[in-house]
Amino acid sequence: MTQDELKAAVADKAISEIQSWLERDTVLGIGTGSTADLFIDRLGPLRDQFKGAVASSEASTQRLKSLGIEVFELNSVGTVPFYIDGADEVNANLQMIKGGGAALTREKIVAACAERFICIADHSKYVAQLGHFPLPVEVIPMARSYVARELVALGAEPVYRQGVVTDNGNQIIDCFNFMIDDPVAMEAKINAIVGVVTNGLFAARGADILLLGKADGVERIA
- Annotated binding residues for substrate, written as ranges, equal 32-35, 85-88, 98-101, 125
Q: What is each CA distance from 112 to 131, 150, 192, in whole angstroms?
A: 22, 26, 18
174 contacts ligand 5RP (rule: CB under 6 A): no
86 contacts ligand 5RP (rule: CB under 6 A): yes
Q: Min. distance of Cβ 26 from ligand 5RP in angstroms?
A: 22
Distance CA 54, CA 31 (A): 9
107 counts as catalytic: yes
134 contacts ligand 5RP (rule: CB under 6 A): no
Q: Min. distance of Cβ 171 from ligand 5RP in angstroms?
A: 14
* Residues in Cβ contact with 154 at an 8 Å cutoff, skipping those fewer than 6 apart: 178, 186, 189, 190
Work out which of 14, 103, 135, 173 binds ligand 5RP, going by CB under 6 A.
Answer: 103
Q: Min. distance of Cβ 200 from ligand 5RP in angstroms?
A: 7
213 contacts ligand 5RP (rule: CB under 6 A): no
Q: Min. distance of Cβ 99 from ligand 5RP in angstroms?
A: 5
Q: What is the DSSP string of 31-74?
A: --SHHHHHHHHHHGGGGGGS-EEEESSHHHHHHHHHTT--B--G
Work out which of 6, 40, 52, 88 binds ligand 5RP, going by CB under 6 A.
Answer: 88
104 contacts ligand 5RP (rule: CB under 6 A): yes
Q: What is the DSSP string of 83-129?
A: EEE--SEE-TT--EE--TTS-HHHHHHHHHTEEEEEEEEEGGGB-SS
34 contacts ligand 5RP (rule: CB under 6 A): yes
For the chain, the first-to-last Cα distance in angstroms comes to 24
Give catalytic residue positions.
Answer: 107
